[in-house]
Structure 1
């Protein structure tokens, strides 16, 4: 039997649904797992599974070379870090908490000031899937620190490292999630139109799902055009697309479906055409979305 002290050690702070799943994944894989939660009874629930429950966040961090923070938001991370203080020295902190790129960089600065290494991470998946390939985790930050803790993090799912800028994991996560919301709200608006015309929603969705694979090549082409600044007539020229938008807006108005998003697209097209770029395609409207200093 392996001596308890020979097993790898990890600390998990935050016993919400995700943090508890992370802690259980480590326990199931034989890690000496220390846990801490602001509300003590949530941490105590892990004691029956074999976790050691620390009385303070500082003691929890001191108990292991690696601490995983899975908290509600970055404000909670900041509160924990403040309470940990110098106990973080010589340790590696890995945050799986949602937040902005700027917050990740601020956390890294705090860790550096207190003699700790910091890796920022974001989880794409659901707590029941932690520890399987169905969970995707994005990481960024100091490469040496990441590579040192990679074997520990691999226990949780499929990893992607996005580079030494600690904010990049948050950029990846926020962009992926935002794209999902943009797509899904557009889908709901479209279903409103289909329903208003009396067509079957499920049959329409089956047809729509069958066409989605065709967008992969278009997205790659658009990204290439934006990177190079050379815009061809993808989806057709804006001059032609603008006329189509009038039809789409009119159709929605006739069925009582809101037109805010379609009017926004039409407004961008009109602005780009007015700039003399009516021969370019949809991707060229990216130029109107850039934040200018």
Structure 2
């Protein structure tokens, strides 16, 4: 750590927030964390983080405040309560909330005199823990520059998408619409192979190394086939939330919704059957025959 290392406050220590915290600490940045359920944040003290009892305590001395919460309502509630304590810090908003949610929070920042950067991330639990996320950012260039040490610690690269907040969140929705739909398509083929009496591993094996292959085909396909969806890299209910955001955005833009409608239906059905806290690969349950 150097004298110029920015002090980081990270609000929200769920799966992604905890991994991001550890990556920041590995880079030598001082980090204070807060979580609504403080017990979930306390293990990060063993990694070197300071655990704050309140969000206001977490942000008071920070140079960069990162929010990694579930939705726009959660972020708005927390930041609304602590805005006066944030002061001149850069607010790096990393929760997935879509363009409309980002517009809401940008207005809040303007009203409260906060420096706002739209900063969602691409990646799941593993990349968050490894500091290999793709950092998507849009906002004032000087504010992004101030947050760059944190961005570098958490990500393998940073994509700057302009000065206008919302562009980064728009790209995040585009990417997650693809990821969620792709995983549902893998699940459908796994279930179809099973129903035909095939070894579903032959499906993923047939694609391996070819033009249609991807890491998701192999990793998510394996989890579906082996039934190891309890270890959530990207929680199914989180994907469902993001796909609903994508569907709403697509509808506003007049984009045909056929695939998004089907994907939302599948994840919703799997969540309703009790798989919401599992990895997104648990969507395979929506495609398997009932009973």
| Shorter-chain TM band | 0.5 to 0.7
Root-mean-square deviation over aligned CA pairs: 2.9
In 1, Cα distance between equivalents of 2:123 and 2:47: 23
> Given the two structures, how large is their TM-score scaled by the length of structure 2?
0.64
SS in 2 for 1:136: strand
In 1, Cα distance between equivalents of 2:191 and 2:35: 44
Within 5 Å, give how 1:116-265 maps onto structure 2: 116-130=114-128, 132=130, 134-158=132-156, 159-194=158-193, 200-212=199-211
| Structure 1 unpaired stretches of 5+ | 215-286
SS in 2 for 1:165: coil
In 2, Cα distance between equivalents of 1:175 and 1:164: 19
For residue 289 of structure 1, the aligned residue among 256, 263, 266 is 256
Cα displacement string for residues 230-251 of structure 1 (whole angstroms, at most 9, x for unaligned residues) = xxxxxxxxxxxxxxxxxxxxxx
In 1, Cα distance between equivalents of 2:198 and 2:47: 52
In 2, Cα distance between equivalents of 1:92 and 1:46: 23
- Is the CA contact 1:14–1:69 (under 8 Å) kept in the aligned structure 2? yes
Equivalent residue, structure 1, for 2:49: 51
Equivalent residue, structure 1, for 2:78: 80
Cα displacement string for residues 123-149 of structure 1 (whole angstroms, at most 9, x for unaligned residues) = 222334326464222222223311221
Q: CA deviation at 1:200?
A: 5.0
Q: CA deviation at 1:23?
A: 1.8
- Is the CA contact 1:44–1:53 (under 8 Å) kept in the aligned structure 2? yes
- Is the CA contact 1:88–1:111 (under 8 Å) kept in the aligned structure 2? no
SS in 2 for 1:138: strand
Q: CA deviation at 1:197?
A: 5.1
Cα displacement string for residues 12-51 of structure 1 (whole angstroms, at most 9, x for unaligned residues) = 1112122122222222222221122222223333333332
> Given the two structures, how large is their TM-score scaled by the length of structure 1?
0.64
In our comparison, the structure showing a higher alpha carbon Rg is: 1
- Cα distance, 1:7–1:144 mapped onto 2, change above 3 Å: closer
